[in-house]
Amino acid sequence: MKKYLIILIFLLFSCQQTTQEKPSYRQDFTPQEVKVMHAARKIIDGAYYGTFITLNNKEQPKARIMEPFKPDEHFVIYLATTPKSRKVSEIKNNPTATLHYFDKTRVGYVSLMGKAFIENDTAVKHKLWKAGWERFYKNQNNDYLIIKFIPKYLELISIPEGFTGDKETWEPSRVSLVK
C-alpha cells in the first residue's frame, strides 16, 4: 500500500508543470522561411523597442512597451522587469504571450507568439545586466528578474522585402519555429 501511495504522490507532483518547456526547434526551414526570418531580424533590429503582451486573470491582453534583448538563433528573447510588475503574476498565471515589433522606417512588423517564463537565475541575471540599470533596480538580486520568451511561431509583414501579406485576407507570412 505504501508503495502505491508513493507512486501516486510522485505522479501527482510530476504532472504539475513548474519548469519551462523545452521546445524542439525546427532545422528544416524552406528557403522562403529563411527569407522571412531574415526580414524579421531586420525589423527587430530596427525597432529597438517591442510591445510585450500577456493575459491577465480575466484573459484580457495587456500590452506594454519594453526594451527586449536581441533574439538568439531560435528567436528566444529575454526581457528585464521587476518582480513586483503585473506581467510577472500574469506570466505565472498563464505563460501565453506575444512580442510585437514595428519598424516605421522599414514599413513592417513582426509578431512572435509563444510562452514566457520567469528566470531568476543569478548567472543569467548577471550576464544580461546593463550599466545604468541600478537606477531602476536598486538591488540586483531582489528587484530584478528576467523574462524568457520562447516563441512557437512568427508572423511578418515587410514591404521592402516583398512580404505584403495575402492580397485578400491580409494574412502575414508565417514561420513555425518549433516542430
What are the tens digits of pLDDT across the range 117-153?
999 999 999 999 999 999 999 988 899 999 999 999 9
14 assigned to some structural domain = no
Residue 6 lies in a domain: no
pTM: 0.86
Instruction: State mean pLDDT over 54-58.
Output: 94
For residue 59, is it within any domain? yes
Residue at 125 is within a domain: yes
Flag whether 13 is in a domain: no
CATH code, domain carrying 120: 2.30.110.10
Provide the domain count of the chain: 1
Would residue 141 count as lying in a domain? yes
Radius of gyration, CA atoms only, the chain: 19
pLDDT at 167 over 80: yes
Alpha-carbon torsion, ordered 58, 147, 75, 127, to 10 deg: 180
Domain that holds residue 153: 25-176
Structural domain includes residue 35:
yes
Tens of pLDDT, residues 98-115? 999 999 988 999 999 999
* Best CA proximity match to 53, nearest among 37, 41, 68, 65: 65
Q: Decide if 4 is inside a domain.
A: no
